[in-house]
Amino acid sequence: MDKHHSNIEHAHSYTIYIWVWISLLALTGVTVAVAGINFGAFTIAAALIIASVKSYLVLTIFMHLRLEMKAFRVFVAVALLFVIISFTLLFADYSFLSLR
């Protein structure tokens, strides 16, 4: 019966959202600025790392993942693991390819 009252805890304040938003914009600025510099192979890595940090902020704060029960975080981990494993195995073929 009390299940849906658990919503009360399900809240962030306005200020934390504003801070996250500012950080997201700042990170966007950083990624644009960094893209101009040539780090070689590290350029793409830098872009992806910054994008991951941004996604992490959106996931945990905007999408309330931090306030959800543990199962939700496990779910996200499972989904990401599936993507990462598929990606790795796909490149198990492509990175050793000489024919095509």
Partner 1 sequence: MSTQEQAVVHVHRDDIGSRMGMWLFLFTELLLFGGLFFLYSVYRFMHQADFHVAAKELNVLVGTFNTAILLTSSLTMALSITALQRNNKKLSVFFQLCTILLAVAFLVNKYFEWMTKIHHGIYPGSDEYLAMESGRRLFFALYYVMTGLHALHVIIGMVLISVMTRFTVRNVITHDNYVKLEAAGLYWHLVDIIWIFLFPLFYLIT
Partner 2 sequence: MDNDAATAANDHVSFLKYKGKYKGIRSWILSTDHKRIGILYLMALLCFFALGVTFGFLIRLELLTPGKTIVEPQVYNEFFTLHGVIMIFLFVIPGLPAVFGNFFLPIMLGAKDVAFPRLNLLSWWLYVTGGVLIIASILMPGGPADTGWTFYIPYSVRTTTNVIITGSAAFLLGFSSILTGLNFITTIHRLRAPGMGWFKMPLFAWSLYATAWIQVLATPIIGITLLLIIVERVFGVGLFDPALGGDPILFQHLFWIYSHPAVYIMIVPAMGVISEIIPVFARRTIFGYKFIAFSSIGIALFGSLVWAHHMFAVGMSDTGQFIFSFLTFMVAIPSAIKVFNWTATLYKGSISLDPPMLFALAFIFLFSIGGFTGLIQGALSVDIHLTDTSFIVGHFHYVMFGGTGMGIFAALHYWLPKMFGRMYNLKRAKVAFWIIFVGFNTLYFPMFVMGWLGMPRRYYDYLPEYTIYHQISTVGSWILITGMIIMFTNLIQGLRKGKVVTERNIWGGETLEWTIETPPTHDNFDKIPMISTPPYEYKQNETEELPEEIIH
- Measured between its terminal Cα atoms, the distance across the chain in Å is 61
Q: How far is the CB of 58 from partner 1 (least distance, A)?
A: 5
- Pair of tokens at residue 57: 């902020």
Structure-token match 């793409």, residue found: 44
Query: CB-wise, 8 or 78, nearer to partner 2?
Result: 78
Provide the residue type at 86 as one letter: S
Query: CB-wise, 30 or 90, nearer to partner 2?
Result: 90
The option from partner 1, partner 2, none interacting with 98 (CB < 5 to 8 A, set by class) reads partner 2
From 33-41, 44-52, 53-61, 86-94, give the range in contact with partner 2 by CB under 8 A. Answer: 86-94
Q: Is residue 82 involved in binding partner 2 (CB under 8 A)?
A: yes
Element (H, E) at 96: none
Q: Is the dihedral of CA 50, 51, 55, 56 positive or negative?
A: negative
Please report, as ranges, the residues that interact with partner 2 according to CB under 8 A. Answer: 71, 78-79, 82, 85-86, 89-90, 92-100
